[in-house]
Structure 1
C-alpha cells in the first residue's frame, strides 16, 4: 500500500451560519461545529484510505472565538499521520464576517478515524507523506498525541453511572 501526501486528503467545507444554527447569543451551537468537524474529518479520512471509516476519538476542542449568525464558517481538515488502521486528522475551524471581510480562528482539533471493512472490522490504511513544514511538524508530533490518547482511554471512566 503506497503512502499518500497530506494534500490528497485535504477537505474544505464552507457554510453560512443561519438563525436555526445559533443560540440566544446569535453564536453557532457548539454541537453544530462538532458535527461539521466529524463530517469533514470523515470525508478527509475516506479520501485517504478510500474505504468506510468510523470516528474513534476527538481530542479536546477549544472554542477560541464565536461564530456569529450571518458569518461564513469554514472547516478544513487533512490526514496528518496513520497507524495500522487509524488516521489522525487535523481540523481547523475559522469564521469570516462577510460584510466586514474579517476572519478569525474558531477552533482546532485532532480527530482519530479508523478504516473499516463491510463487517465493521478495522483494515490497514496507507501511510501519509507530509510536504509542508506545518504538515511535517504535525506528523512528527503525532506519536506523542497517540500515546496521550491511549493513556486517556485507559484512565477514562468506562463504567455507567448507574448499572
Structure 2
C-alpha cells in the first residue's frame, strides 16, 4: 500500500444522460436514481484512493437543491475530502446541464463516508491524504468540523432521548398536526 495519495489521484467524475425511465411521477429525475449514482461515484473515488473494496457507512447532507430534467446530462464530481484510519469522506457535487442551451445548475452536494475492507471483510487502513491546494485544505477542515458536529449531535440527542419522560413532553405536540388516540 502506498503511504499517501494526492486528492487528484482519485478525483472522479461520472456523467450520465437522464433518460425517461429515471423520471418520477412528476416528470423529474427520481431521488432514488440520483442517490444510486452518487453512491456509485463515491465508491469509484474511495476504492481508487484505498486500493481496496469499500462500503458505504453513512450519507450526510443530501439536499435536493433543484430538479433534474429528463434529457439533461448529469455530472457527479467526487473527491476524497478526509481520511481516517479505514474511513474516507467523499464530497460529491452534482451538476446538471441542459445540452440545448448549455445552462448548468448545481443540483446537489453530499458527503458519503466509505470504509475500506480487506479480503476477509475487516476494515483496512487507507493511505494518508495529500492536500494539494487551499481548496483541498478547506474541504478537509470542513469534513473534520462536520464530523465533530455530527458526534456532538449524536451525543446530545442520545442524552435527550434517554432522559425524556413522555408525560413531561406532551406539550411539544400542542401545535403539531397530530391526534393522540
Superposition TM-score, scaled by structure 1 size: 0.90
- Structure 2: any 5+ residue segments left out of the alignment? 162-181
Q: How many residues align?
A: 157
CA radius of gyration, larger in: 2
Give the unaligned 5+ runs of structure 1.
Answer: 158-163
Alignment of 1:33-48 (within 5 A): 33-48=34-49
2: distance between equivalents of 1:38 and 1:153? Answer: 24
Secondary structure of the corresponding residue to residue 150 of structure 1: helix
Task: Please state if 1:130 is matched with 2:131.
Answer: yes
- Runs of 4 or more above 6 Å deviation: none
Query: 1:9-65, CA deviations, whole angstroms, 9 ceiling, x for partnerless residues?
Result: 111001111100001332110011100111100110000010000101100200111
Q: Could you tell me how far 1:151 is from its partner in structure 2?
A: 3.9
Q: For 2:106 and 2:14, how far apart are their aligned partners in 1?
A: 15
Q: By how many angstroms is 1:146 displaced?
A: 1.6
Query: RMSD between aligned alpha carbons?
Result: 1.6
Q: Which residue of 1 aligns with 2:89?
A: 88
Answer with 95-104 or 116-125: which moved more. 116-125
Between Structure 1 and Structure 2, the one with more helix by share is: 2
TM-score normalized by the length of structure 2: 0.81
